[in-house]
Every structure is written in structure tokens, then in C-alpha cells.
Copies of this chain bind each other. A is one copy, B any other.
Amino acid sequence: MRLTAIQLYDKLIQEDKILELKGQIKFCLGDVDIVVKQKDVVGNIIQEWLQGWLKKRGIEYALSGNTQMPPDFYLNTKDKSKDLLEVKAFNRNASPGFDIADFRMYEEEIIEKPFMLDVDYLIFGYDMNDEGIVTVRDLWLKKVWQITRCMEKWALNLQVKQNVVHKIRPGVWYSKQRVSFPMFESLEDFVSAVEETVYQNPKTHHDAAAWKGKFLTNYETHYGIRLDIPRWNDIAGKYRN
């Protein structure tokens, strides 16, 4: 059975009622079983769990070979340029602790493969209580621009170590309070922020002049649509409260 990401999401929520399930991690050696109460493990095993679920439900999928970059799963094994699914998970009692991608790899990847911008992010906000009971408190299906934002000094929220740009980090997209840096409103604004970051980042600065042109050409070749990407300075005001 072939499902799109949204069909898969609906199935998890409505048929499997995933938000009502109670899970556990158990260690069994000999005749002694114990419940593992380590919260930090959960994030790493949700993706394996989803794979087990896809298999059990007979849903078509292929694994991506590259664990460094999205996606984790291809939901259309015939056409690997659509229905790409990336799985993320984080402890719902803390902030999203996962990375979106290495910035450098990401900005190169979306030029090469503009359909990477259309990856669906299936995000598990899990909880483990003191008895080790695991629940999925929230499940979201998002596009990359719906879970990213800018920061004070950069057009994207980045992990920067000793002035070197590393990972693109998510924002808190589900906050009900007014946030200092709201999520991007559109794909175009997100791409504008990526372009600005290519320009801001010393390591990619020399690529900045050609970046947008290449991206627009490749995007148009793939989708037949010429995007209209605003200049970051024209929209930055919307994203900094």
C-alpha cells in the first residue's frame, strides 16, 4: 500500500490512535525483565519503531542510505523525488533538541535537489514518566519552513561554534506564547533566509552571488515554476519581534 505523508499521519492518529498508546522499553536477560527509564533513548528509537510500523502495516517504503541528510524514508519507492519523509523526535518536556541538517550540506543539497524543500517532517513529541511509560504527547507533520526561524545575528537559527556555522536548528513552532522569532511564513521566506545565511557565513560567502540563480533555475527545471524569492532585508522585520 502506498501512502502519502499526510495519509500516513492520519493513519497513525486515527486508526492507531498513537496519542493514546502507552509504550515501554524493556531489558530482558535470563528470567529478569526490567523497565528502562532513560528518556534520552526514546528519541533515537522512534525512527526504528516507525519502520517496524510501516512494515507491519504493509506500507510501501525505502530507507535512505544517507543518515546525515533528510529524508529517512521514501514513501514512493518508484519516484524518489516526492513523498520524502523525515522523522524527528524530542522530549516534549524540553525544547526540540534535534537538528534539521548541517547548513553547508543543506544549502548545496537544495540546489541539486530542490524537491528536498518539500520533505515532510513527521515529528514525535514524546514523554516518559517516572515509571518508564512512554507516550506520544504530540505528533506533527510539518514542512521545513514551518519549524525554522531566524536568530539575532543570523537569518537562520544556527548552531555556531567558534564562529563556524554547523547545524540548522528548529524553533519552538508549537509555542502558544508570542515568541521573539516567529517561524517562517512560506517556503519563499525560508529560501530567502538560506540565501542570506550563505552570504553571511564566511565559509560559503564566495558562493552567495551565484547561489540564488542556480537554485531558481533548478527549481524551475524540476517544478516548472519560477519562484519569487524576496530579499532578506525586505522581510527580516516580520521575523524579529
Q: Are A45 and B49 in contact (CB under 8 A)?
A: no
Q: Are B53 and A32 in contact (CB under 8 A)?
A: yes
Does A28 touch B at the CB level, under 8 Å? Answer: yes
Q: Are B27 and A49 in contact (CB under 8 A)?
A: yes
- The prevalent SS among residues of A at the interface is mixed
Q: Which residues of B contact A136 (CB under 8 A)?
A: 29
Q: Which residues of B contact A25 (CB under 8 A)?
A: 25-27, 36
Residues 183-208 of chain A: 1 if any B CB is under 8 Å from the residue's CB, otherwise 0? 00000000000000000000000000
Q: Which residues of B contact A53 (CB under 8 A)?
A: 30, 32
Within 8 A of B (CB), among A17-54: 18, 21-34, 36-38, 41-42, 44-45, 48-49, 51-53
- Nearest-CB distance from A96 to chain B (Å)? 20
With a 10 A CB-CB cut-off, give which of A22, A25, A134 has the most chain B CB atoms: A25
Q: Are A49 and B26 in contact (CB under 8 A)?
A: no
Please list the 7 inter-chain residue pairs (A to B) with the smallest Cβ-Cβ separation, ordered nearest first: A23-B29, A34-B52, A32-B52, A21-B30, A32-B53, A34-B48, A25-B27
